[in-house]
Each structure stands twice: as C-alpha cells, then as structure tokens.
Structure 1
C-alpha cells in the first residue's frame, strides 16, 4: 500500500473524479462553526509520532496482535437521514489516492487502520458529499452534525455499535492534521470525513475537508 500524505486524505474526502468531490457549491460554502476541537484533539495521544513513512497517513502504532479485525459494513446517522453501506477500501494503485466507492450513496472504511473491535485508534470512514452526475452523496449533510448527535456502525459480525459525536471541524485540505485522524493510538474513536468549503469550479473540487469525530456511546 502506498499513499501520499496530503494527497490521500484530500482525495479521500472525495468526489466526481477520483476523490475530489464536485458540484453543489452551496453545500459547503457557509460551514457551521467548529465545535469540540479541543475534545477531538485530546482523544489522540499527546505524544503522537510522525507517520511510519512519508507515504503512510497513520501515526506509528501496531494493530492488535492476533485480533480479528471487524470492518464496518453499515452506518446509520438518524440526525442527517443517512443509512449507508460501508465498503472496505484502500488506495488506487494508479492514482495513489484513497479510493472511496464510486457510488455516492456508499462510503468507504480505510482498511489499513483499526476496525470496530479496536480499543484504541481512529476508525476512518470517508464519503462523497455530492457528484455532478449522481447528485447528493451519503455525506452531503455531514456538516450539520453537532455534539451529542448519535450514530450506529454495524460490523461484519452483525453487532451494532453506538457512537456519540464530540466534534465537527473544517480544514483546508492542505492543513488537515492527517496523523491525528489516521492514528492507531489514543482513545477509540470513529472519524467521518467528506469535502466542504467553497467549490472551485475550475479545479472541480472543494477547498476543505469536514471531519466529524465520535466516541463509543
């Protein structure tokens, strides 16, 4: 697996071509104010180290030895009317970008990070905000989530796991702290990512990423 540090997550939050999301400018042009940033930061270890290599967007840390990784297969977020299939995704070998499912109503779990059974680290799920051809994506309303909202992730083992939102943040794609959101250490948490901010029609991509952090309820 190879991943460009900045390119991968910018790509990861995805859209029309590869992973740069496209079209409805109004969707992310006036984002709500960030909430819970300090709490989200505290969930990661204070001594987070740089990525293992320049190509891997995760902090140093081993996955549980001998543990059976449980991928999420379904995500339900009642507050924004989301019921979406979750696919295990990796990196597109041709483009070197995080490969979000092409159907905008489906979302992708970063399979090189922790699964739902992990008691530490960030379980990353990314989805499209919208598409010029397909319309609104599963994460079109992700920016509306607020502290205290709840969601349910169902694993391949059939078990439903409840989470509570603690933070919603927006970053320019060039400034998002990848090590924090792809970390394998720190408190167990769920990280949801999509695109937001103004849409650059010429570049056909949004300027920012919206990141929602949730913890086991």
Structure 2
C-alpha cells in the first residue's frame, strides 16, 4: 500500500494548528445494508505540519473557485481551555467518546484506534473545543470491521448542531457553517487549520473518488462550525 508523502515540521512554525492533508490508507467496504450504497471508506489518518503562511498558488486557486458564502453569524464568546469528553451530532446519530491525538516523529497525526468504530480523536496540541481557535476533530469513516463514526459526516447541512461535552462540565454547542470537499492536491491548510479570532470547530474525514493507483482518496471532507452557545458549569 503506497504511503502518502507529508511535509515535515519546521522549527519556524509557531503553532501546531497549521497542518495539511489529513488522511491516508484506505480500504473498500460494502455498506449497502446501511442504506447508503457501496462506498469507499477511509481507514486511518496522517496529518503533518503545513506552511503557516499558506501556499500562495493554492490560496489563489481556492479563492478563484470558491462559491460565495453567506456571512457567518458571530460566534459565542470563547470558553476556557477544557478537554473534550464526548461528541454528539443528533442529525447523523453520532454519539462517541474522545481520545487525544498526538503527532508522531514525522509530524503525522496518529489516528484514533482502528479497533473502535465509535471513537473520535481530538488533536490536543491545538485548541480545545470551545476555546479560541480552530479545534481539530478527526474520525474514521470505517475500520477493518465495518462503517465507523464519521460515515455520514458529509451529509451535514448548514445550521445542524454539534454538541461537545467537556471535562469542566460544560457542553459546547457548535452550529455548522459549511461542509466542503477539498482535493488533497490543493488542500487549503491555512483556511482549515489556521488560527481564528473566535471559537471554531473542524470535523475531518475522507471523501471524493478513490484513486486505485495511489491507494488513497482524492479528497477530504471538512465540516466548518462555530461555537453558538454552551450550558452547564
């Protein structure tokens, strides 16, 4: 199985929030029984540091092809740092615990456990969900045993709610702003992983066509969301 190449960490990178092309290693899994037809699903992740300034050509291409978006509503005031414990997305029947994720020695994000189809990973080197910045959450769409937690992530719509329970007793509610698919060849790392002035969330999995020669998906699905409210504590 071919391994995807990733840029290596650079000492000048000030924040681990800037990362690029977050998925590799795939397999085919029939999911007709789930009512969504046969689907090529992602088996694990590899996330590496990107250029915090962004690639000018990539940014220009993305800006030129982007569909005009409705202005986003203002996010709620950020919360103090607190680790996430559970992710709930009622629209797609997600109710899953978190596991913290770290970078390996090559700068790739270690994936959530492959033997657990109902677990999501949070990159603990970045913002916690609800804290100022873009919190990064990754999940499998399948494992070797079957469909997994982010199987239906791409079906979310603007306005859908994402709830994240935190260790401090609060539940942060995010509202989806957009669900977008990006080519891995032109992945807008600065837009997806760059710092933000308010509390935002990125949910990431794989999507698009499966490239048999590269043994990888050609695209990534990214859900952009902002902190709308919180309760508790």
Q: TM-score, normalised by structure 2?
A: 0.66
What corresponds to 2:152 in structure 1? 141
Q: Indicate the structure (1 or 2) with the bigger Cα radius of gyration.
A: 2
Q: Distance in 1 between matches of 2:147 and 2:103?
A: 24
Partner residue in 1 for 2:125: 112
Pairing 1:48-127 to 2, within 5 Å after superposition: 69-93=81-105, 95-102=106-113, 103-118=116-131, 120-127=132-139
> Could you list the runs of 4 or more consecutive aligned residues of structure 1 that deviate by over 6 angstroms after TM superposition?
40-43
Name the SS of the counterpart of 1:199 in structure 2. strand
Q: Which runs of 5+ in 2 are unaligned?
A: 1-5, 10-18, 31-37, 42-65, 229-233
Judged with a 3 Å threshold, the aligned counterparts in structure 2 of structure 1 residues 186 and 81 are, in CA distance, closer, same or farther, namely same
Deviations 1:147-203 (A, max 9, x none): 111110011222111111110000011212112222223332111000001123343
CA distance in 2, matches of 1:113, 1:137: 24
Q: Which has the higher strand share?
A: 2
Question: Could you say which structure has the greater relative contact order, defined with CA pairs below 8 angstroms and 6 or more residues apart?
Answer: 1
Residue 38 of structure 1 is matched in structure 2 by 69
Structure 1 residues 71, 39: CA separation in 2 closer, same or farther (over 3 Å shift)?
farther
**Size of the alignment, in residue pairs?**
178
1:205 Cα deviation after fit: 2.1
Q: 1:96 to 1:5 in 2, by over 3 A?
A: closer
Question: CA contact under 8 A between 2:129 and 2:135: conserved in structure 1?
Answer: yes
* Structure 1 alignment gaps of length 5 or more: 14-18, 30-34, 44-63
- How far does residue 98 in structure 1 lie from its aligned partner after superposition? 1.2
- Scaled by the length of structure 1, the TM-score of the pair is 0.70
Partner of 2:227: 216
